[in-house]
Chain A
Amino acid sequence: MKSNQKLKVAIIGSGNIGTDLLIKIMRSELLECTYFVGRNFSSPGISKASSMGIRVSDQSIDAIVREPDCCDLIFDATSAKDATYHWSILKPLGKIVIDMTPAKLGIMCIPAVNLEDALKEQNINMVTCGGQASSPIAYVIGQFVKDIEYVEVVSSIASRSAGPATRINLDEYIETTEAAVKKFSEAKETKAILNLNPAVPCVDMQTTIFARTTQPDMDALKKEINKMVAKIAGYVPGYSLLVEPIYEHGRIAVLVKVQGLGDYLPKFAGNLDIINCAAIEVAEAYAKKLAVKNSVVHH
């Protein structure tokens, strides 16, 4: 694909998530960031974007309203509350929205599990960092153990990787992660727990997936989980299995680790990286789908 055929995307929200997304988009052969929108010209994100030659605005959603043709797809990296308001404006404009907040407005998407379904929708929710790390493993366990009663996911992240929005949205993080794990594992009940560890040097993101069940064929389960881990690592390079599934104390436990690419935040911030890598995967898949569609039209 030539560069002028790249899918035009805009980012609303100039915090850590938005800025890291921008750096990833700069590397993409399928995406082009045409507008980087925040609320404050002096924010580090806007400065960074300007320094990379990206067009910026401090007018938030109004910037998009004034120029709706600036892009086809928008990453909303604001907050659950703001994303809800933005969607009321972007929906009638016909924009594809990839929602990075836990607002749960559209289809919850884990690319390794339901990318195709998500591409049919106009609003795609990227769940949470813990949801991206845990749901695909929970999905494998749910496929493997029928009628599973209870799945629980616990994530630990470095304190320094959790900005003010993450902290204030802790309850929404938990609710959205629980909803995703329930959807993908089909367990009757789910629970999500988040720990912020301030240790220095900063800890990598780790997620543990527990399932309360009788003991399944652990060797067969290991194989399936390894396949899933490889699939996720295809779009989240820092995703790896930390401890192979074990059965202990009436529960299955699987531990995964997520290191970041070190784009905007350091490598320990795997939590930021995994949700952004997943979002880029969705946007690129959408760009490919659109390119195919357009080429059909042109012929």
Chain B
Amino acid sequence: MKKKVLISDPTLRDGNHAVAHQLSAKQIESYSIAAEAAKIPIVEVGHGNGLGASSLQVGLAAISDREMLETARKHLVHSKLGIHVIPGFATINKDLKIAIEIGVDLVRVASHCTEADLTQRHISFAREKGKEVYGVLMMSHLASPELLVEEAQKMESYGAEAIIIMDSAGAYLPSDVTERIEALVNALSIPVGFHGHNNLGFAIGNSTAAIDAGATIIDATARGFGAGAGNTQLEVLVAVLDKLGFETGIDFYKLLDASDLAEKEIMKIVPTISSTSIVSGLSGVFSAFNKPVERISKLYGVDSRDVFFELGRRKIIAGQEDLIIEVASNLSKYPQKVK
């Protein structure tokens, strides 16, 4: 029997970063229909930073969380509807209750890779409501394998049924992934997954490295539609997995159709590894910072590459977009070559 890999598709969530959170209900509808037809197991939907994240800090979404989730819910029958939830942005009362009422299937509760205890209440709440719950450790390149294991174990103790580590900055090389996934698989009794970004061109290679190291869940998006240089490209990954002898349960032709549709209907531009994205990956800064960094660097007349390296030096985490202003303002007053 072929070994299985579970594919989770955040095209309609991470992809929202690529269009400044402007995905419309119509776009969510058409991709949800195509994803359902392709038998994609999990379809994640929402603002780029997940539930309750529409903000001046990260970007205001075109439509509400409710509208996004209700639209997708209508068209996802066999595919599970997933959400990304970051405590600090989303609260149980304002946000999570609504999502559960709409009928999401999978709640992925995320924190910065060292702050897992922030997820305790959200994980417990979603589990109590009978939902499937994953724990997600973001910006995982900023923690050692040992520390990641400790944080993942906390999430497991809160009730998480799988742990996903995110390479949010697209900063990993395959050996980094192997080391971390092996440590997690050895220490946890729940499945482990990987979410890649392509800033350094390794999204597919890192995903297969994760699988070789024992990961059984992989995030990937149509055409790689996602923050920065984009995510792991779903249709490529499924083809590669087929070649490697893994089963995903996905209808390959219909998946290719879904990706073609996504390119035509929901992408302004197909993600590429832009110069900014390379710098973002190299400096270890959250992929989704590229748009605000470019905009604010221009405002202060500074080099966006310097801004990225300074943000990286200060170990700025996802959600700290406001500090781009401070860094750019400082660089304009005290110019320095950061790299």
- Which residues of chain A have a CB within 8 Å of any CB of chain B? 150, 152, 154, 156, 159, 164, 167-168, 170-171, 174-175, 191, 193-199, 203, 206, 208, 210, 212, 242-243, 246, 248-249, 251, 253, 255
Asked if B88 and A193 sit within 8 Å, CB to CB, the answer is yes
How far is it, in angstroms, between the C-alpha of A198 and the C-alpha of B117 when the chains are bound?
13
**In the complex, chain A residues whose CB is within 8 Å of the CB of B323:** 156, 206
* Distance between B63 CB and nearest chain A CB, rounded to angstroms: 16
Asked if B319 and A195 sit within 8 Å, CB to CB, the answer is yes
How far is it, in angstroms, between the C-alpha of A253 and the C-alpha of B299 when the chains are bound?
13
* Distance between A3 CB and nearest chain B CB, rounded to angstroms: 43
Asked if A156 and B91 sit within 8 Å, CB to CB, the answer is no
Contact with A along B109-146 (1 / 0, CB 8 A): 00010110110110000000000000000000010000
Asked if B325 and A255 sit within 8 Å, CB to CB, the answer is yes
Contact with A along B299-335 (1 / 0, CB 8 A): 1000000000000001111011011011001000000
* 8 additional contacts (CB under 8 A) given A152-B55, A171-B92: A170-B118, A174-B88, A175-B93, A193-B319, A198-B315, A208-B322, A210-B57, A246-B325
The number of inter-chain residue pairs (CB within 8 angstroms) is 92
**What are 27 residue pairs bridging A and B, where the CB atoms are less than 8 Å apart in the complex?**
A156-B322, A159-B114, A167-B117, A170-B87, A170-B88, A171-B92, A171-B121, A175-B94, A193-B57, A195-B88, A195-B320, A196-B112, A196-B115, A196-B118, A197-B112, A198-B142, A199-B314, A199-B316, A203-B314, A206-B323, A208-B57, A208-B325, A210-B57, A210-B322, A246-B299, A251-B56, A255-B322
| Closest chain A residue, CB of each to CB of B52 | A191
- Does B337 touch A at the CB level, under 8 Å? no
**In the complex, chain A residues whose CB is within 8 Å of the CB of B117:** 164, 167-168
**In the complex, chain A residues whose CB is within 8 Å of the CB of B293:** none
Beyond A168-B121, A251-B56, whether A156 also contacts B320 by CB under 8 A is: yes
**In the complex, chain B residues whose CB is within 8 Å of the CB of A249:** 295
Asked if B326 and A210 sit within 8 Å, CB to CB, the answer is no
User: Contact partner of A171 among B57, B91, B114, B315, CB < 8 A?
Assistant: B91
- Does B296 touch A at the CB level, under 8 Å? yes
Q: Give the contact-size bracket for chain B.
A: 20 to 34
- Which residues of chain B have a CB within 8 Å of any CB of chain A? 55-57, 87-89, 91-94, 112, 114-115, 117-118, 120-121, 142, 295-296, 299, 314-317, 319-320, 322-323, 325-326, 329
**In the complex, chain B residues whose CB is within 8 Å of the CB of A156:** 320, 322-323
Asked if B314 and A171 sit within 8 Å, CB to CB, the answer is no
**In the complex, chain A residues whose CB is within 8 Å of the CB of B315:** 197-199
**In the complex, chain A residues whose CB is within 8 Å of the CB of B91:** 170-171, 174-175
* Distance between B36 CB and nearest chain A CB, rounded to angstroms: 33
**In the complex, chain B residues whose CB is within 8 Å of the CB of A206:** 322-323, 326
User: Contact partner of A210 among B56, B296, B329, CB < 8 A?
Assistant: B56
**In the complex, chain A residues whose CB is within 8 Å of the CB of B87:** 170-171
**In the complex, chain B residues whose CB is within 8 Å of the CB of A246:** 299, 325
User: Contact partner of A253 among B319, B320, B322, CB < 8 A?
Assistant: B322
| Closest chain A residue, CB of each to CB of B125 | A171
* Distance between A117 CB and nearest chain B CB, rounded to angstroms: 28
| Closest chain B residue, CB of each to CB of A164 | B117
* Distance between A23 CB and nearest chain B CB, rounded to angstroms: 27
| Closest chain A residue, CB of each to CB of B319 | A195
* Distance between B83 CB and nearest chain A CB, rounded to angstroms: 17
Asked if B55 and A193 sit within 8 Å, CB to CB, the answer is yes
* Distance between A195 CB and nearest chain B CB, rounded to angstroms: 5
**In the complex, chain B residues whose CB is within 8 Å of the CB of A251:** 56
**In the complex, chain B residues whose CB is within 8 Å of the CB of A195:** 88, 112, 317, 319-320
How far is it, in angstroms, between the C-alpha of A174 and the C-alpha of B95 when the chains are bound?
12
| Closest chain B residue, CB of each to CB of A156 | B320
**In the complex, chain B residues whose CB is within 8 Å of the CB of A193:** 55, 57, 88-89, 319
* Distance between B219 CB and nearest chain A CB, rounded to angstroms: 23
Asked if A248 and B55 sit within 8 Å, CB to CB, the answer is no
How far is it, in angstroms, between the C-alpha of A211 and the C-alpha of B57 when the chains are bound?
10
* Distance between A257 CB and nearest chain B CB, rounded to angstroms: 9
How far is it, in angstroms, between the C-alpha of A170 and the C-alpha of B116 when the chains are bound?
13
How far is it, in angstroms, between the C-alpha of A249 and the C-alpha of B320 when the chains are bound?
17
How far is it, in angstroms, between the C-alpha of A52 and the C-alpha of B154 when the chains are bound?
37
* Distance between B171 CB and nearest chain A CB, rounded to angstroms: 16
* Distance between B237 CB and nearest chain A CB, rounded to angstroms: 31
Asked if B55 and A191 sit within 8 Å, CB to CB, the answer is yes
How far is it, in angstroms, between the C-alpha of A194 and the C-alpha of B88 when the chains are bound?
5
How far is it, in angstroms, between the C-alpha of A212 and the C-alpha of B55 when the chains are bound?
10
User: Contact partner of A243 among B115, B142, B325, CB < 8 A?
Assistant: B325
Asked if A248 and B56 sit within 8 Å, CB to CB, the answer is no
Pairs A-B, 4 closest by C-beta atoms: A208-B322, A199-B315, A210-B56, A171-B91
How far is it, in angstroms, between the C-alpha of A248 and the C-alpha of B93 when the chains are bound?
32
User: Contact partner of B93 among A152, A167, A171, A197, CB < 8 A?
Assistant: A171
**In the complex, chain A residues whose CB is within 8 Å of the CB of B55:** 152, 154, 191, 193
How far is it, in angstroms, between the C-alpha of A168 and the C-alpha of B142 when the chains are bound?
23
How far is it, in angstroms, between the C-alpha of A248 and the C-alpha of B112 when the chains are bound?
28
Beyond A191-B55, A248-B299, whether A197 also contacts B322 by CB under 8 A is: no
Asked if B326 and A255 sit within 8 Å, CB to CB, the answer is yes
**In the complex, chain A residues whose CB is within 8 Å of the CB of B120:** 167-168
Asked if A212 and B296 sit within 8 Å, CB to CB, the answer is no
* Distance between B62 CB and nearest chain A CB, rounded to angstroms: 15
* Distance between A245 CB and nearest chain B CB, rounded to angstroms: 11
